[in-house]
Structure 1
Amino acid sequence: MSTSATPRGSYFEPIDEHRYKPTEHAGGAWNTEEQHFSPLGGLVVHAIDRHRAAGPDNGLVLSRISYDILGRLALDECEIQVETIRPGRTIELLEAVVRIAGRPVVRARAWLLAGFDTTAVAGGAGDRLPPPESLPAWRMSDVWPGGYIASLDVRPVAPPRPGRTAAWVSTPLDLVAGEPASPLASYLALVDTANGIAARQSPAEWMFPNVDLTVHLHRWPRGAWTGLDTTVAFGPSGQGLTSTVLHDVDGPVGRAQQILTVRPQPGA
């Protein structure tokens, strides 16, 4: 399998069936020598897609995925193994484990549910965001460093405010070089950006990294843009919560939650 990047660039290059090498575009915002979790979250879904493609198509739809970040995400080769924890014809549970240097750094579980035509009863999702094409771009790299942030096209609905921002996010990069990614994997590769678009305090003075990400979907997203309608709350004892209504160009598709560990920057 070739490990060369595509001409337009990618976040990861494949090494073999289960191993991937992050490129400079995956560089983190809290530490540029680590991976930003957002593209890695998309890579996990890509690995789940490959795992499912190796078996019969059961028509189930990924409807929830939760990630627990267990340790430092070094900007180094990672291995992803996927297994079916709870098989079923209408409900299935998969688990993916990401290892770097042999150590588990991310554990993700995905619930897949049976698909039915429920168009007649669909509703309650909420209003659309204004279309991204109508909005000016925002240089998120003025606030955050790292290759991942620098790779993004960010279009806020209004000027970002501390703890409250709605914005569209897109990227010209492929998720994996030479491997087509599903629309869902590409969409979810941008969701972890939510904690950065609505920073409640300056990251130069405060740290507030998330230790998890949970996404619930009531329909699959489409298109090249990930819409993030995000609110960030800090509590009085070192915890925070980033809550996001997820959108595509047709309207809301689900919700994401991230728990934060909030603490002053050393020396701030």
Structure 2
Amino acid sequence: MQASFTRDGEFLVPSPVAASPWSDEMLNGHHMGGLIGWGVQHDGADPEFQLSRMTVDMVRAVPMVPLLVETRRTRDGRRLRAVDVSVRAGDIEVLRGSAVLLRRSEHPDSGPWTPEPWDVPAPESIEGGPTGPMTWEVRRINEWGAPGPGRVWLRETADFVAGEPLTPLLRASLMADFTNPLSNSGPDGLAFINTDVTMYLARDPRGEWIGLESAGHLGADGVAFGTTWMYDRDGLIGHCVAGALPDPRIRERMREERR
């Protein structure tokens, strides 16, 4: 499949596969997370440091034009690094994010509560369908709207930037945005758009497949958020939170698709 972006000097140029399902002129939220992750990664990858937290602020619709990704290291300590990322279309900042990276060290021998191990079918045991123009594959562990938490396996199927390896950090960054449709959907489908997403990782994912499980939705007066647990084949690796606002256009489009 075609890569999501190609380089043109300092710029990343989106290809058609990076477009949103809502508009061919707007970048998909999936790739917004990828841009922030790509920026953090290119600030200066260091194997001694683990991405602990990454936040993506979706301040505007990101147009399908050449984009400039700029980074600024705001803290460079012995145990903690902080990075800000700004994505610009011309003179306008269309996306921004931030990240905190922590130095890996010996882990304490303690026993805080954690969820039970994820006991779900392996992705290859679940029938997968065509992905169409999307650059990622979704294998549903349970059906949308079924009782209980939504669960899926996801994997990226295209290069993010042509000619560059798809790193574990990028794989996780790309899938964090799926927190919104997974945790903010109900029996009647999705009624929310997300305004941001924050991902916490204890370690990088291993392998291609990333699992997400809804950890719940909370909302009042049109302000909401949803959360997910993030997994790989070996177990729990992180947690994601997506703030959300209702958008009647989504509900209307879903009604039209059912007709």
TM-score (norm 2): 0.85
1:26 to 8, 14, 18: 18
In 2: Cα distance, 1:175 partner to 1:64 partner: 21
In 2: Cα distance, 1:73 partner to 1:89 partner: 35
1:63–1:263 Cα change, 3 Å: same
CA shift digits 1:194-226 (9 cap, x unpaired): 3224533445xx4x1111110111222111012
Pair 1:184 & 2:136 matched: no
Which secondary structure state, in structure 1, belongs to the residue aligned with residue 194 of structure 2? coil
Contact 2:155 2:171 survives alignment (8 Å)? no
Contact 2:189 2:251 survives alignment (8 Å)? no
In 2: Cα distance, 1:266 partner to 1:157 partner: 24
Letter in 2 for 1:169: L
In 2: Cα distance, 1:177 partner to 1:129 partner: 36
| Match of residue 214 from structure 2 | 230
Shift of 1:42: 1.6
In 2: Cα distance, 1:41 partner to 1:82 partner: 15
Contact 2:36 2:56 survives alignment (8 Å)? no
1:65 to 41, 51, 54: 54
Aligned length in residues: 247
Pair 1:212 & 2:196 matched: yes
Kindly report the root-mean-square deviation, in angstroms, between the aligned alpha carbons of the 2 structures: 2.5
In 2: Cα distance, 1:30 partner to 1:58 partner: 38
In 2: Cα distance, 1:29 partner to 1:43 partner: 18
1:70–1:159 Cα change, 3 Å: same
Contact 1:139 1:154 survives alignment (8 Å)? no
Pair 1:250 & 2:239 matched: no
Shift of 1:183: 1.3
| Match of residue 126 from structure 1 | 116
| Match of residue 257 from structure 2 | none
Contact 1:238 1:263 survives alignment (8 Å)? no
In 2: Cα distance, 1:36 partner to 1:25 partner: 9
List runs of 5+ in structure 2 lacking aligned partners: 253-259
| Match of residue 256 from structure 2 | none
Pair 1:84 & 2:73 matched: yes
CA shift digits 1:74-115 (9 cap, x unpaired): 111111101110111111111111111221111111101110
Matches within 5 A, 1:43-192: 43-53=35-45, 57=46, 59-118=48-107, 121=110, 124=114, 126-130=116-120, 131-137=122-128, 147=133, 150-161=134-145, 164-192=149-177
Which secondary structure state, in structure 2, belongs to the residue aligned with residue 189 of structure 1? helix
In 2: Cα distance, 1:210 partner to 1:259 partner: 5
Letter in 1 for 2:35: L
Shift of 1:66: 0.8
Contact 2:70 2:87 survives alignment (8 Å)? yes
1:40–1:265 Cα change, 3 Å: closer
Identical columns (%): 25
TM-score (norm 1): 0.82
